Amino acid sequence: MSKYKYLDEVKFPSDLKKLSIDQLKIFSEELRKEVIDAVSVTGGHLGAGLGVIELTVALHYIFDTPNDKLIWDVGHQTYPHKILTGRKDKIRTIRQGKGLSGFTKRTESEYDPFGAAHSSTSISSALGIATANKLSNKSNDVVAVIGDGAISGGMAYEAMNNAGASKTKLIVILNDNDMSIAKPVGAMRSYLAKLLSGKLYFSLRETIKLIISSFSKRFSAKAGKAEDFLRTAVTGGTLFSSLGFYYVGPIDGHDLDALLPILKNAKESRYEGPIMIHIKTKKGKGYSFAEKATDKFHGVSKFNIQTGVQEKTKVNVPSYTKVFANALIKHAEKDSKIIGITAAMPSGTGMDIFGEKFPKRMFDVGIAEQHAVTFAAGLATEGYKPYAAIYSTFLQRAYDQVVHDVAIQSLPVRFAIDRAGLVGADGPTHAGSFDITYLSTLPNFVVMAASDEAELVRMINTSVHINDKPSAFRYPRGTGIGLELPNSDEKLDIGKGRIIQEGKKLAIINFGARLQECLNASINLKKKGINITIADARFAKPLDENLIWQLATDHESIITIEEGSIGGFGSHVTKFLSEKNLIDKGLKFRSMILPDKFIDHDKPDLMYKSAGLDSQSIEEKVKNLLNSNIILQKQKQ
């Protein structure tokens, strides 16, 4: 028996086109129920998708996807899109191992023309595709859907600036729901609110009729004057119009009677240039528990549909993020120069906790990591102690600012790098794989990695006193291991590691949160009569050269382990050993790093197993290296 009247019959957008407008409205409610039901089983991003149900239906109904290209910014809101584009039967595998990605992914479907999991990329990529169409004399339409939070990112303005001058047809949907992951911040939020406060609202039927008649490249002088008057009356002139966009809006994004004719006329328009359609939506629309939630159910675990209660793993151990926030608060209580900075991720980085305590000393700069870093650099020049709390994967977007504005000037900006290493369901786009490499190559930097939550506190304590150069400390997603936390006075000697346990013949030098896996491997090895030394480097820069020298001269073999790519800690150790001629004297050296590939989303332990960085892989590496030494010694005899 069919679960839904229309949804069960729609497998692709071509099926959608067989429905009447009244049927589309029923279909939209069925789609909303299906999204809620699916995410209740899998967990994932919910609120954003519920807010674009009608928009998703309208876009696929009007446009000829996949021939027309539909590009979603970030991808949080694409669950309804996936259901409509041949992936309905797999929607309950989303974010699961070997299942659908939580974001758009080119290799997953021809309906995903551009992969996106970071924000503010849609207009740039859409303009590139539209330009390619123009050069190839293709008439395909290109549509980009960008959220109000994502449009705060600088890249979006760069793209609009280029698009407005290009005279290339491109349709941009500004999905204004007053909510990205957290509340949007900055002047753009106020500007969009001002647009919405106008006396005219474009969901009014007579207003729609006036505007949609004006998409034509040529229209009468009388109609043109009416259009100019209307747009000025509503907005007082728009930023988007000034950038060269034909601006229409705001429109009720949940009203198919308003959306369909607007989109149809945009598609059929002969206007040679970019069109901006501003729609107003509600995040979490149609599910009361999501609508009432402060985060509008942005990211959720499995939940009970009837109660809205999410399944939470009961743990008594705080997350690394919370440990960071609480430790920083303790220092900020004594030091008024400490400043917290986040780029639209207050809850994800713990800066919401810091901000509650020090509202005047926490700055959410919006989805603008480049600005965040240089803003922090400016603060540092005036004697303040800025902490830029940014996910490893997002800090990549500000690398030039880290180099040019911070490192070259040796400014004491502190980088709290959350989500270091592999992160599970969010997959390769959110993995913190490269920060060890891209920071350790920079002069004037101190680079630390916490092996547990107690070490994280010590690194925060240490960073407070680094006043002549930038510093960074990285830590993983998830909870610690349950250690008692040190007090605020317990800090580290810069560039000094520690010996965890002593053994013979082989030493492991760990950098970061794989220490417990090293210890687990050593327990199994000990049962086989193999006792190894384990050290925790703590610092990738500066290296503890004395410790490395000691381990290299006291052991036959060394293995370094890190949750990062080639070019990081292990590469720096290799350079040191080579320069000291220690490898030439018979020392066996191996580095265990993330492999040279992007690892698909899965449970974190399975991802680390795939990466060869679990305890079993470490154990095998040790045994193989020791066996190769035995064989080599026999050959010499």
Catalytic center residues: 283, 369, 397
Average pLDDT over residues 173-180: 78
Taking only the tens place, the pLDDT of each residue in 449-494 is: 999 999 999 999 999 999 999 999 999 999 999 999 999 999 999 9
pLDDT at 233: 42
Average pLDDT over residues 234-242: 63
Asked if the model's pLDDT at residue 391 lies above 70, the reply is yes
Please give the torsion angle defined by the CA atoms of residues 317, 320, 326 and 330, in that order, rounded to the nearest 10 degrees. Answer: 120
The one-character DSSP state at 493 is P
The share of the chain scoring above pLDDT 70, in percent, equals: 89
Cut 0.85: pTM above it: yes
As a whole number of angstroms, the distance between CA 167 and CA 274 comes to 7
| Bridge partner list, 276 | 172, 247
CB 479 within 8 A of CB 521: no
Separation between Cα atoms, residue 167 and residue 273, nearest integer Å? 4
Going along the chain from its start, the domains and CATH numbers come out as 7-299 (3.40.50.970), 320-474 (3.40.50.970), 499-636 (3.40.50.920)
The pLDDT value recorded for residue 557 is 96
Confidence band of 232 (pLDDT split at 50, 70, 90): very low
Residues 198, 202, 204, 208, CA torsion sign: positive
**Whole-angstrom Cα distance, residue 259 to residue 261?**
6
Q: How far apart are CA 424 and CA 385, in angstroms?
A: 32
Element housing 286 (H / E)? none
CA dihedral in degrees (15, 16, 21, 27; nearest 10)?
A: 110
Least confident stretch, 200-204, 439-443, 518-522: 200-204
- With a cut of 50, say whether residue 207 has pLDDT above it: no
The residue-averaged pLDDT of 615-622 equals: 97
Q: Specify the range with the lowest mean pLDDT, choosing from 218-222, 307-311, 316-320.
A: 218-222
Cross-strand pairs, 560: 509, 591
E strands, 476-578, are 498-501, 506-511, 533-536, 539-541, 557-562
Using only C-alpha atoms, the chain has a radius of gyration, in whole angstroms, of 27
User: Which pLDDT score, from 0 to 100, does residue 237 have?
Assistant: 42
* Tokens read off for 275: 């069109």
Angle, CA of 380, 381 and 386, to the nearest 5°: 10
pLDDT tens, 502-536? 999 999 999 999 999 999 999 999 999 999 999 99
**219: pLDDT strictly greater than 70:** no
Secondary element (H or E) of residue 452: none
